[in-house]
Amino acid sequence: MPGGPARTGSLHLPLAGTPVQALPDPGPLRRPGGGPVQRLGLSPFHRLRPGPGTVGIRGIVKIAIAGPGAMGCLFATYLAEAGHQVALLDHDRQRARRLAENGITVEGIRGRHRARPAVTSDAASVGAVDLFMVWVKAYHTADAVELHRAAVGPDTVIFTAQNGLGNPQRVLDKLPAASVVAGTTTVGANLRAEGRVHHAGEGDTVIGAASPGAAAALDGIASLLGDAGFPTTVATDIAGAVWRKVVVNAGINPLTAILGVENGRLLELAPARRLMEELAREAVVVASGQGVELDEQEAVALVVRVAERTAANRSSMLQDISAGRRTEIDAINGAIAALGPAPVNRAVAELVRARERLAGGRD
């Protein structure tokens, strides 16, 4: 995400795990100061819906979060503080053991927070959860869902707000009957070290149904995230929201990674700015071909505004290149070029892949 050094989310191994004690059933959920919440049987999140004359229904929710990166650790910490039962799932057995022993520290805009959620690479030890959040890189989505599918039961709702295009479909390819909620977020965080997160900025989260069975869960998830400090809006056009974020990422991230510059430098270098704007225009045309109509002028202006607001920041793609990691170029500019005629997006995607190889992030 251009809001780096913050890393954000957006819509996407078979190791033995470090066992943790199975999370207990929270028992009957209760209204604030009142009796038990009626379980409607449609979705576990119906119990979180506001009822007539109430501020909102709150209860303990059992949550699994795949991916102990910046966003996974950030959400795990604040959701645990909100009183939910949180398990962090990691494909790396040794790292899971260290995180379980040392806990998670989040520092930044909300001060300093410490959390010790259950951490494991063995999803079976956690069991089926109410909410399964996917916070791995887009190219690891399918593997993460497959590895941790023991945490997904018939009533589990799967949430993805990762960067790029196609993440909900990657989930559904593995679990065709799943209830999948897609989203975008402008919350900013970066991983300073293992289990140490810098919360760089607050932001807005937008969610919507990515599968027919997910619509009933939206209000409850929005309430749950809001209570943890993540203001969340339910969108009727989640595809449009996802594409708008993709347009921004496509315009800024690859150029910063290729040039090795902070976001704001793209506005100061006339050739880079022209490329940034053309990347956005191409993305708008491709989105239209996918049935998502975006205003070209508004999209270009949005990319420029984000570059201005995050001028001093290093994009997540630049961070990945600098660290010798694989980037999410295939899910952003590469995905745009794969969906329609987008020669500039195709060219910059190839350049980023070349940078990855030079940096050792891709074979």
Domains of the chain from N-terminus onward: 44-236 (3.40.50.720), 239-359 (1.10.1040.10)
Q: Tell the residue number behind the tokens 């989930």, with chain if given.
A: 171
Mean pLDDT, residues 317-335 taken together: 95
Helix (H, G, I), strand (E, B) or coil at 35: coil
pLDDT averaged over every residue in the chain = 85
Among candidate residues 62, 137, 174, 245, the one labeled active-site is 245
pLDDT of residue 180: 97
Residue 50: is the preceding peptide bond cis (ω within 30°)? no
Is 137 labeled as catalytic in the residue annotation? no
pLDDT of residue 57: 27
Asked whether residue 56 carries a pLDDT value surpassing 60, the answer given is: no
pLDDT of residue 178: 96
Helices (H) and strands (E) in the chain, counts: 12, 12
- Please state which of the ranges 29-33, 210-214, 245-249, 301-305 shows the lowest mean pLDDT: 29-33
What is the torsional sign of CA 354, 357, 362, 363?
Answer: positive
Asked whether residue 50 carries a pLDDT value surpassing 50, the answer given is: no
Cα 146 from Cα 276, distance rounded (Å) = 36
Note the pTM of the prediction, 2 decimals.
0.81
- Please state which of the ranges 48-57, 170-179, 235-244 shows the lowest mean pLDDT: 48-57
Mean pLDDT, residues 333-339 taken together: 98
Q: Which helix (H) or strand (E) holds 205?
A: strand 205-209
Residues 276-293, buried b or exposed e (16+ Cβ, 10 A)?
Answer: bbbbbbbbbebbeeeebe
CB neighbour list of residue 300: distance below 8 Å, 6 or more residues apart: 277, 280, 281
CB 175 within 8 A of CB 145: yes
pLDDT of residue 363: 66
Q: Tell the residue number behind the tokens 């303990």, with chain if given.
A: 60
Tokens of 109: 């805009």
| Cα 103-9-171 angle, rounded to 5 deg | 95
CB neighbour list of residue 40: distance below 8 Å, 6 or more residues apart: 46, 47
pLDDT of residue 195: 97
What is the torsional sign of CA 271, 272, 274, 278?
Answer: positive
Mean pLDDT, residues 231-256 taken together: 95
Asked whether residue 80 carries a pLDDT value surpassing 50, the answer given is: yes
What is the torsional sign of CA 271, 273, 277, 283?
Answer: positive
